[in-house]
C-alpha cells in the first residue's frame, strides 16, 4: 500500500516553540569588513558574553564554513556570492531553531550583503560594519595574507587587488582602530540584548 507523501515543512514545530524553549529571540549579526578588521575577534567576544547570559549562539566564519559545506568554492566573484548565499541559508536554519548566529564574512560587495539580508529577512538581520583602515588591517595580518597578496600570490584579494564596498548605513558602525574590544562589544550588546529578550516578542 502506497503512503501519500506530504511536505514536511508544514508539520515542523514552529520557530516560536524553539524561542520559548531557549528563552530568547534569535537574530543574525552579519559582521562585514576587511580581513584583519576584527570581525571574528568581536564575534567570539559577543558569543562568550551572550553565552554567559544564558543565550545560545553559533559563530559562522571561513574556518568552519569553507572547510566544510563551502569547501568546493573558490574566491571568484561568483563563488564569493554563492558562499554568502549558502551561509545566509544556514544562518536562517539556525534562526528557525531559535539560535542567534554571528556571521563573520568580508562579503565585500553591497549586493552580497543585500542578498544575505533578503534570505535571512530584514527584521532578523543586523549588519555590523567592522571598520578599520587598510594600514591597520595589514599591521594586524597574523596570517600573512596581505603580504602574499602584495606579492601577487593571492589574486582578487579584497582591499589590495579587489574592491570593498563599505556599507552606507549599517545597523552598527564600529571604527575599531584605537578602540578596545570591551568598548566595541558594549556597543554591540546595547543593540542586541533588548532585541533578543523574549519579553520584546
**Residues designated catalytic:** 107
Question: Phi and psi of 42, rounded to 5°?
Answer: -70, -40
- If you write DSSP's letter for every residue of the chain in order, what string do you get? -PPPP--SGGGSPPHHHHHHHHTS---EEEEE--TTSSHHHHHHHHHHHHHHTT--EEEEEHHHHTTTTTTT--SSHHHHHHHHHHHHHHHHHHHHTT-EEEEE----SHHHHHHHHHHH-GGGEEEEEEE--HHHHHHT-TT-HHHHHHTTSSSS-BTTTB-----SS-SEEEE-TT--HHHHHHHHHHHHHHHH-GGG-
Closest CA to 192 of 69, 100, 61: 100
**Owner of C-alpha cell 543586523:** 126
Amino acid at each position: 500500500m502506497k503512503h501519500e507523501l506530504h511536505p514536511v515543512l508544514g508539520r515542523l514545530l514552529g520557530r516560536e516553540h524553539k524561542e520559548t524553549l531557549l528563552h530568547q529571540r534569535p537574530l543574525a549579526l552579519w559582521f562585514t569588513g576587511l580581513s584583519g578588521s576584527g570581525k571574528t575577534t568581536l564575534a567570539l567576544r559577543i558569543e562568550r558574553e551572550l553565552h554567559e547570559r544564558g543565550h545560545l549562539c553559533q559563530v559562522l566564519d571561513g574556518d568552519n564554513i569553507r572547510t566544510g559545506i563551502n569547501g568546493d568554492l573558490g574566491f571568484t566573484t561568483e563563488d564569493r556570492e554563492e558562499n554568502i548565499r549558502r551561509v545566509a541559508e544556514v544562518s536562517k536554519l539556525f534562526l528557525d531553531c531559535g539560535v542567534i548566529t554571528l556571521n563573520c564574512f568580508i562579503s565585500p560587495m553591497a549586493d552580497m550583503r543585500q542578498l544575505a539580508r533578503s534570505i535571512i529577512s530584514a527584521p532578523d538581520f543586523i549588519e555590523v560594519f567592522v571598520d578599520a583602515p587598510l594600514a591597520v588591517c595589514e599591521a594586524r595580518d597574523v596570517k600573512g595574507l596581505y603580504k602574499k597578496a602584495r606579492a601577487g600570490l593571492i589574486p582578487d584579494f579584497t582591499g589590495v587587488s579587489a574592491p570593498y564596498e563599505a556599507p552606507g548605513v549599517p545597523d552598527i558602525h564600529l571604527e575599531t582602530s584605537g578602540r578596545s574590544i570591551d568598548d566595541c562589544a558594549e556597543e554591540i550588546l546595547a543593540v542586541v540584548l533588548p532585541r533578543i529578550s523574549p519579553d520584546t516578542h
